Amino acid sequence: MSIKDKNKLVPGQQAPDFTLINQSGTKISLSDFKGKKNVLLVFYPGDNTPGCTRQLCALRDDYHQFQNKDTVIFGINHAESESHQKFIDKHSFPFDLLIDTDKKVSTAYGAIKLFFNKVIINRTVVLINKEGKIIYLKGGLPTDEEILSHF
């Protein structure tokens, strides 16, 4: 059994609640949005890496479409606030990046893998509805259109 299999979530399940700090030091909890907003979590391996930059820039470019679906977006990885803020500033992201230093939230969502005997965050997208249920979950780089089609 792989690390990811231990925490396998599936659509229809209640999303695990969490509280993380954003790039500005503000606490963000999933439960803050219950009954109010859909939430898109984008777990990604690293700030300012080619694949992660492409993925988050696409979300930035389609941000208004997610807003029209009453959805907030959060990028999540283990980087510190300074790295996240530089990444946001460089690419003008209109959404927060959350800090999962100990990878506990990434683990709870099954968004980790072993890479040369090191636990790293595996690119994973999770869409959670206003009731707190997972309505879409996919690894890799799904298109924004694919994500948006699950509303």
Residue with tokens 């930059």: 53
Average pLDDT over residues 120-145: 96
Q: For residue 2, what pLDDT band results from cuts at 50, 70 and 90?
A: very low
Tokens of 76: 């999540």
pLDDT digits (tens, 9 = 90+) for 74-121: 999 999 999 999 999 999 999 999 999 999 999 999 999 888 888 889
What's this model's pTM, rounded to 2 decimal places? Answer: 0.93
Q: What pLDDT, on the 0 to 100 scale, is given for residue 3? A: 44
pLDDT at residue 4 is higher than 90: no
Q: What residues act catalytically?
A: 52
Domain layout of the chain by residue ranges:
3-148
Residue closest to 96 by CA, chosen among 81, 113, 110, 112? 81
pLDDT digits (tens, 9 = 90+) for 20-70: 999 999 999 999 999 999 999 999 999 999 999 999 999 999 999 999 999
- Could you tell me which CATH number the domain at 3-148 has? 3.40.30.10
For residues 14-53, one letter each, b for 16 or more C-beta atoms within 10 angstroms of the residue's C-beta and e for the rest, the string is ebbebebbbbeeeebebeebbeebbbbbbbbbbbeeeebb
Q: What pLDDT, on the 0 to 100 scale, is given for residue 7? A: 57
